[in-house]
Every structure is written in structure tokens, then in C-alpha cells.
Amino acid sequence: MAKSGSFQYIVDNIMLTNYHTLGYVASTLHTALQGLRINQIFTQNANEMVLSFGAEHPSLIFSCRPDLNIAYLHDRFARARSNSTDVLHDAHGNAVTGIAIHPADRIISLSLASKNRIALQFFGAQSNAVLINSTNIITDAFRKPRQVTGKVYTDRPGHLVYDPVGLPATLRSAGTMQITQSLRNLYPSLGSTLTRELLYRSAIEPATMTAALPEESLTLLSQKFQELLNELGTPRPRVYLDTAEVPSCFSLIDLHHLNNPHVRQFDDLHAALRFYCSRRLAGGDLATTLSSLRTSLRHQQEKLQRLLKALEEDAREADRAHEYEHFGTLLMAHLPEIHKGDVSFTVDGSSIKLEPGLSPVQNSQRYFTKAKRSKAAAGEKEERLRSARERSALASHLLEKLELVYSREDVEMFFAQHRADLEIFGLSPGAGERTPFPFRVFKVDGGFEVWAGKGSENNDLLTLRHARPNDLWFHARGCSGSHVLLKLSSGKGEPGRKAKEQAAAIAAYYSKMKTSSLVPVAMTERKYVRKPKGAPPGTVLIERETVLLVEPALPEEAP
């Protein structure tokens, strides 16, 4: 139930079959499908018909479900290998020459090159798709073909006409009828949802008697009616969601009377309809899964933003090498003026703090040492910054992709395509299991895990996406081979010499020097490994390495 002021309305999905919605559907279908040849027409779900135009084109889904009575394009729809049946056989192979909505009824017609046409009737529980020949005889139907085949198809006469300017005068003669009923009698194609929206914008209670409306209310109603029609002329599809992110209402325009902040806007009509229908069919479980995943990613992104801010501040503080070198140089240039026991020395406007227990030369050397350490710290901070920025960008990318996930099929595809990325945030299915991603995984001394890459691109994935800054990184020197990580977080305490040698032996085993008796293996922390811009897959540069000479081997518990 949505409530605002004295207005209280039940949220419904009647806007799916609103004449204006169907009119917009028809116009977009005409643009997308005109000239395409129907490859096949089939059904594989109850009350749902699919028109396929080939793998390179989207399919047209026509749903006859009373609660989801709509037609929309689906660009990733695949026919099931079983439990599907062809329908409207005589329309197969025909090219679509045009698509239009009936001038005053909820019927979308697809004109075919054979001079036949398919009429999609949006009549709730009585919805159907019928095939009509050039003499207006129904030759086939999607639902109840035996009952309708052979009958003459007759279009209801009439045209849609709105008169916002003349509305006040028309309503004055409506008698004692309530304003809601008066508007629905005058403009049935407006529908109940848009009628409620019009009254809400006009500040008119739905139960108000038409004859009791003052002149200013009628004038305002006329103005708001014209505004509403203008908005319908330039629609912006949107889906309103409940607190569990399950769609509760579809609309072409902003529905103020719902007073619902949970809304998603779409640039594409068919993306909005597919989102609405898929989420409604999937139910609350899927919505809960997506909401949880989205919340987790946003939480990770917020944490990374805070980390980035802190690292940027630390980096500015750490990068004081120039200042320290300057202080050291000044002290060396003024040694005769400085005495042991001084706590500071001022020169050229700079006040330099001194350690009173150190000699002037030692104080100078202390600043040169601090400059050296500052340079090293700045490099480490930059590496951590780069890593945090990459993770933040990855979280944003995943959130963008998640916005395109509507159905269970989409969820499975999303996890399949982004499993390794999600694992970085501990969010993929099976996270925490021994091998949730495509790396070789081993146990070494102390219970630590060792991960080994399986190829050049896989090596990049391992090193650049799955390694933490302090993980130990191994690679056989002077030859190609796997990148190997000893994951510090997988065991307790610090890994011992045996664990490091076992990890190095794994790197030697998965290298071109596998058959050698002893192999030199470089070991360093991941933060000292970087990939030059434009370098081939698997190619990196390392610093601060330690070389271990080991025999190529795998641990006893190798998988």
C-alpha cells in the first residue's frame, strides 16, 4: 500500500497493458523488427509465445499471463532443446513489413509480406495471438485455436481522442458521478493508474463528486492533463520496487502518487519490461540474492574509498625525501655552527630538529637516512594506492554489470563471467572452498596455501588480481614458468623456511627447468612485483628478490 497525504492507493501492474504503454511498445517494435524475417514461432513456457528472427536479432516475447500481459524484446533468449512446440506455422518464414497498434484498442498487429497479419491481443486472461489472412479470416491462434480458427476477425471501430482544453466543460455536464468514474468514462484508454496520477497532481480527492468541483480545480485538472499527455509523448520507462527490490509497478512516467523512492529508470523500454517481468517471475529469492550481492559490493567500494583517502594522505606525508635531504645538506654545510647537545638548528628560515645525543655529522646522516626510507615508503604507498584503485574500479565495474542482471539465467551468467573478480571480494559462490577459481592450489608446511598459475594470462590474473601486497611471490629465474603465491592469510603466523622452499619448488616444477636438479627461484613480496605498461601477458618486473636454490617438486598432497 502506498500512501501520501489523504491519498491511499494499491500498487498494481496495470500499466503493462495500458494503451499508452502498448503504443510505445508497438512503435519501438516497428523500428526494431521491420524487414526482419520470422525464423520460428514457438512456445516453451505456459502462456508465452516467442517469435525468433535468427540468432543475430532479439526475439519477441509475447506473454499472455494475466499478471504479466505484455510483449518485449529479449536479446539473449534461447529455445529449449526439449519441451517446446511450434505455433502459428503459416507465419514462419515471413518478413515483417510493419507493426502498429490499433487506433483505440489494446491490439498490436504485425503485418507480414504474405499479406497475412498477427494480432497480439492484450486482454488479460483472454489474451491471445491470432493469425489473420487477407480476407480477415482467423487461420490459426496461439491459444484455443480450435475455438477461434475460421471465424471472421473484426476490428473494433474508433480513434483515441483527448481534449484537455475542453475537459472542464465536459465534466460540468457529468452530473452526480464521482470524478474518478467521470474520467474513466471519458477516457477509458487512460487507465486507472494514470487516472489516479492525474487526480493526485491536481490535488483532487478520487471520491469527489464531479459537480462539486470548483472552477479553479477544473482549470488545474485541465492543465495537469496536458502535462501528463506531454510526458507520455516523451516516455522515460521506470520500474518501482518494494523493499526487497521486487518490482511492484511499471510506468512510462513518474508516478507521484506512489510516493516510492525505490525506482529504477531505463533508457530502453524493452530493458525495463524485461527487468520487470524477469524479476516478477523469479520472485523474492532472486531479488534477495541480487540485493545482498549489490550491498556487499557497495560496502567493499566504500571501504576502498576510505582506504584510498587514507593512503593518499599517507603518501603525501611519506614523500618528504626532498625535505629530509635538504635538511641533511644544510647541516653538513654548517657543521662548525652546530654542537652536540643542541635540540635544533635554524638556517635559511628552516628550523631543523636535532637529536641532542648525536654529533652534528650523525644528525646530518640521520636526515639522509630518513630521506632514503621516505623514498622507499613512498614507493610502497604508491603500489598500495595502485592496487586499491584497481580494486575500487573493479567494484564499480561489477556494480554496473549487476544492473543488467534481471533473471536467474542472468545471475548464472554473471557469476560464470565474473567468478574470479568476485573472489577478490570474497563474494563468488563457493568462496572459501579449496579451489574456487582456476589456479593450482597446494598445502605446504604450516598449513599455508600456495597458488600456481596455469599460463601467461592466468599468471597475470593470479599476480595482479588475487595477490595481497605481503603475499610471497615466486618464479623460476631465467626461464618461463608459473607465477606462484604463498598466501600469508591462509596459515597462522609467518611461514617458515620449509614452507618457502616448498613454494619455490612448486615454481621450479612448473617452469621450463623442471628437469634440472637445482633451479634458482626468485622470491619477493607481491608489492615489489609490477607489470610494465604494454608488457605481454605474464611478463612482470620484480625488486628486492631473494634467490632460493631448490629441487623441482610438488608437495605430497598435490591435487
Reported as a pLDDT band with limits 50, 70 and 90, residue 283 is: low
Q: What is the pLDDT of residue 232?
A: 94
Question: Fold match between 9-160+235-281 and 165-232?
Answer: no
pLDDT at 58 over 90: yes
Q: Are 486 and 499 in contact (CB under 8 A)?
A: yes
Tell me the per-residue pLDDT of 345-391, one tens digit each, with 9 for 90 and over. Answer: 998 888 999 999 999 899 989 888 888 777 766 666 677 778 888 88
Q: What is the pLDDT of residue 119?
A: 97
Question: What is the three-class DSSP state of 181?
Answer: helix
Measured between alpha carbons, how far apart are the two ends of the chain, in Å?
Answer: 56
Q: What is the pLDDT of residue 407?
A: 63
What is the rounded distance in angstroms from the CA atom of residue 521 to the CA atom of residue 549?
6
pLDDT at 430 over 50: no
Q: Which residue has the higher pLDDT, 314 or 276?
A: 276
Q: What is the pLDDT of residue 477?
A: 92
Which is it for the CA torsion 242, 243, 246, 252, positive or negative?
positive
Q: Which residue has the higher pLDDT, 454 or 112?
A: 112
Residue where the block lists cell 479553479? 216
Q: What is the pLDDT of residue 253?
A: 94
What is the rounded distance in angstroms from the CA atom of residue 484 to the CA atom of residue 508?
10
Amino acid at 169: A
Reported as a pLDDT band with limits 50, 70 and 90, residue 446 is: confident
Q: Which residue has the higher pLDDT, 500 or 288?
A: 500
**What are residue 238's phi and psi, to 5 degrees?**
-150, 155
Mean pLDDT score, 52-66? 92
- Look up residue 434 and give its DSSP letter: S
pLDDT at 437 over 70: no
What does the mean pLDDT of the chain come to?
85
Mean pLDDT score, 151-180? 88
Instruction: Return the CATH number of 165-232, one of 1.10.10.10, 1.10.8.50, 3.40.50.2000, 1.20.1730.10.
Output: 1.10.8.50
Q: Are 50 and 42 in contact (CB under 8 A)?
A: yes
Minimum mean pLDDT among 189-198, 242-251, 494-503: which range?
242-251
Q: Which residue has the higher pLDDT, 534 or 240?
A: 240
Q: What is the pLDDT of residue 266?
A: 93
Any alpha helices (H) in 475-540, and if so which ranges? 497-509
Tell me the per-residue pLDDT of 308-354, one tens digit each, with 9 for 90 and over. Answer: 887 776 666 555 777 888 888 888 989 988 989 998 999 888 899 99
Percent of the chain with pLDDT over 90: 47
Reported as a pLDDT band with limits 50, 70 and 90, residue 436 is: very low
pTM: 0.55
Q: What is the pLDDT of residue 78?
A: 80
Q: Are 248 and 11 in contact (CB under 8 A)?
A: yes
Minimum mean pLDDT among 45-49, 402-406, 534-538: which range?
402-406
Strands (E), 23-116: 40-45, 48-52, 59-65, 68-74, 85-86, 96-101, 107-112
Tell me the per-residue pLDDT of 219-269, one tens digit each, with 9 for 90 and over. Answer: 999 999 999 999 999 999 999 987 767 788 899 999 999 887 889 999 999
Q: What is the pLDDT of residue 271?
A: 92
Q: What is the pLDDT of residue 7?
A: 33
Helix axes 360-402, 321-333, angle to 10 degrees: 170
Reported as a pLDDT band with limits 50, 70 and 90, residue 438 is: low
What is the rounded distance in angstroms from the CA atom of residue 530 to the CA atom of residue 541?
5
Q: What is the pLDDT of residue 288?
A: 64
What are the domain boundaries of the chain?
9-160+235-281, 165-232, 291-424, 440-550
9-160+235-281, CATH topology level? ibrinogen binding protein from staphylococcus aureus fold (2.30.310)
Mean pLDDT score, 489-514? 90
Residue 302 CB contacts under 8 Å (≥ 6 apart), including other chains: none
Residue where the block lists cell 510526458? 231
- In angstroms, how far apart are the furthest CA atoms of the chain? 116
Minimum mean pLDDT among 96-110, 139-153, 198-212, 419-433: which range?
419-433
Question: What is the three-class DSSP state of 157?
Answer: coil
Mean pLDDT score, 294-318? 77
Reported as a pLDDT band with limits 50, 70 and 90, residue 79 is: confident
pLDDT at 176 over 70: yes
Residue 8 CB contacts under 8 Å (≥ 6 apart), including other chains: 1, 2
pLDDT at 423 over 90: no
> In what side-by-side order are the strands of the sheet with 440-443?
440-443, 449-452, 484-487, 472-476, 519-525, 546-550
What is the rounded distance in angstroms from the CA atom of residue 506 to the CA atom of residue 510?
6
pLDDT at 302 over 90: no
Tell me the per-residue pLDDT of 1-42, one tens digit each, with 9 for 90 and over. Answer: 233 333 333 334 568 889 999 999 999 999 999 999 999 999
* Cell numbers representing residue 52 in the block: 525468433
Mean pLDDT score, 383-406? 81
pLDDT at 535 over 60: yes
pLDDT at 547 over 60: yes
Minimum mean pLDDT among 76-90, 199-213, 270-284: which range?
270-284
